[in-house]
Amino acid sequence: MGRQFIRQTSWEAQSEKLPGLVNIARIAIVLPLLVFQLLVTDSSLSPGHSGFPDVAFYSWVLLYTFLIFLTIFRPDWQLQNLDLPNASAAVDISMIMVLVYVVGGLETGLGILVLPFVASSCMLSYGRYPLLYAGYTAMLIVFNLFLGGGIRLNPFDWHTDQVLRAGVLIAAAYLVAFLISFIAEHLRAATDSAVHNRQTVKRLSGLNRMVLNSVQEAVVVLDAAQQVWLFNQKAKAYFPEISVGQREPLFADLVAQWRGRADKSFETDIRIFQHAMHVRAVPLIQPEAELLILYVRSLREVAAEAMSTKLASLGQLTSNLAHEIRNPMSAIRHANGLLQEGDADPVTRKLYGIIDSNIQRIDKMLEEVSLVNKRDRLKCEPVNLMKFWLEFKQEFTLNNPKSVGCVRMHMDGNSLTVLADSMHLQQMMWNLCNNAWKHSRKDQGAVTVFMRPSGQSHVSIVVADNGPGVPPDLRSRLFEPFFTTDKKGGTGLGLYVALELAHANKGQLHYRPEMNGFEVILPRDNNE
């Protein structure tokens, strides 16, 4: 299913970029001032224009450069607990005010450089402590003004222009601090809301994927241009090349049918990739786009599901009938045995024999019905096929003495191991070999069993005979319960039971007319 990845936009993640941006601001201050100092010092300007005081300025540049490199190699020093003011912010504000004092005081106009760092201080603290940062800046401005002679102990000796400039700068610091704090608080609230909504969307998206993938049908969402918007895993199994955002011409006829009646749902049967599919189309009208939801199901799966439901009901019914029939059949068998005692009439004894043979046939049917009802009692284990075959062949020939020398096996490889219930495998092989022996010529090579790998994860077991084979008109009914071509006493449940047991063991069973036999495909033990 197509996925959309959402970029992380949380306030905390974005704030981690601030130290790098602050470092860029430091470089943007140091580098131009250094270039200016070097140009002024080395230029042929008139005497008296020698730039900033050399020793103090270069000391400041050296210290601030150290701070820049420290941030490059150890950026985490600027991040700290939010319960305290940010120390790096105080360092930057202090360094700027030292610069102002070094280059000549507030009248140089460089005091305005402190405002970006007041703003970054509030940002690094997520909008907290605006009064503290603005107050600390105001204190340094006043201290700078005092050291520069702008204010003295006697208020009448104050320099009005410097005091006014300092007052404006202090007011700007407070204004910037409160404005950035206000913005930061709202940004954090908006980001928290966005993160919450993103998590909600992510949970809903995961829930939608789970629901879509649990649906039995393949779900595909298209627009009028046949472009795929959404699909589930079942759709990927049906249409391996499908992808989100890609135009899918396979559904051109369905889209055309939809455009003819855009507001009505419809159902139809189509053939895709040689497979018959049932499609249920449901229009989805939205303000932004008109979409078509397709629910696609293989007709073979629909038929198999219907058959499974029918057979489940039949199994429950036959289970109850088997239980109810066994008691009267035991009574009939016992009465038949009593009637045979002392009766020497050949005709009568023949009639008793007919009764007894039919009782045995009913018993066999009841036994096979009980096997079908026990197919869910599965105990999978590794079964070595060579060892299994040697034991099975011995038992089979003991029960069918005429088959000695007529049953053979070919194995592709030294050893094959399947993961299955050994009792189920025994019953499947017994039913298939019995069926093969009944329809064979009962001579040398009457029944041949082939065992070989089928792909990387399965094993194929083919039970073939040299009989006439199954006529084409009867092949579709081979696995129907109670269908038999053996008029001498077949119950019609042997192949059906074998099929049910194969499915219970995550395998398959089908007729191979070219080999005149039945093929069982079972999972291979990966640890063999």
The Cα 470–Cα 502 span in angstroms is 21
Highest mean pLDDT: which of 266-280, 348-362, 412-426? Answer: 412-426
Tell me the per-residue pLDDT of 95-139, one tens digit each, with 9 for 90 and over. 888 888 888 888 888 888 888 888 888 877 777 888 888 898 899
Tell me the per-residue pLDDT of 371-402, one tens digit each, with 9 for 90 and over. 655 555 567 889 999 999 999 999 888 888 89
**Average pLDDT for 52-81:** 80
Backbone angles phi, psi at 76, to 5 degrees: -70, -10
Tell me the torsion sign for CA atoms 488, 492, 497, 502. Answer: positive
Three-state DSSP class for 228?
A: strand
Lowest mean pLDDT among 32-41, 204-213, 300-309: 300-309
**Average pLDDT for 223-251:** 84
Three-state DSSP class for 453?
A: strand
The Cα 119–Cα 72 span in angstroms is 21
Q: Helix-strand-coil percent breakdown of the chain, rounded to 5? A: 60, 15, 25
Residue showing tokens 């018993």: 363
The residue that leads in pLDDT, 510 or 48, is 510
The average confidence (pLDDT) of the chain is 79
User: Token pair of 362, please?
Assistant: 């009913």
Highest mean pLDDT: which of 159-168, 311-320, 429-438, 477-486? Answer: 429-438
CB atoms within 10 A of CB 184: 21
Backbone angles phi, psi at 326, to 5 degrees: -60, -40
The residue that leads in pLDDT, 504 or 508, is 508
The residue that leads in pLDDT, 136 or 329, is 136
Backbone angles phi, psi at 199, to 5 degrees: -65, -40
* pLDDT reported for residue 287: 66
* pLDDT reported for residue 383: 92
User: Token pair of 461, please?
Assistant: 């077991």
* pLDDT reported for residue 464: 94
Tell me the per-residue pLDDT of 3-60, one tens digit each, with 9 for 90 and over. 333 333 444 554 556 667 778 888 888 888 888 877 776 554 444 444 566 788 888 8
**Average pLDDT for 72-95:** 76
**Average pLDDT for 322-332:** 74
pLDDT at 310 over 70: no
* pLDDT reported for residue 11: 46
**Average pLDDT for 249-257:** 84
Predicted TM-score (pTM) of this structure: 0.41
Three-state DSSP class for 84?
A: coil
**Average pLDDT for 289-310:** 76
**Average pLDDT for 468-479:** 85
User: Token pair of 185, please?
Assistant: 């608080």
Give the count of alpha carbons within 13 A of 388, CB side only: 25
User: Token pair of 323, please?
Assistant: 């239980």
Highest mean pLDDT: which of 80-84, 196-200, 318-322? Answer: 196-200
* pLDDT reported for residue 16: 59
pLDDT band at 519 (very low <50, low <70, confident <90, very high): very high
* pLDDT reported for residue 447: 94
Instruction: DSSP for 289-355, please give it.
Output: -EEEEEEEEEHHHHHHHHHHHHHHHHHHHHHHHHHHHHHHHHHHHHHHHHHHTT---HHHHHHHHHH
Contact 340, 352 (CB under 8 A): yes
**Average pLDDT for 410-425:** 86
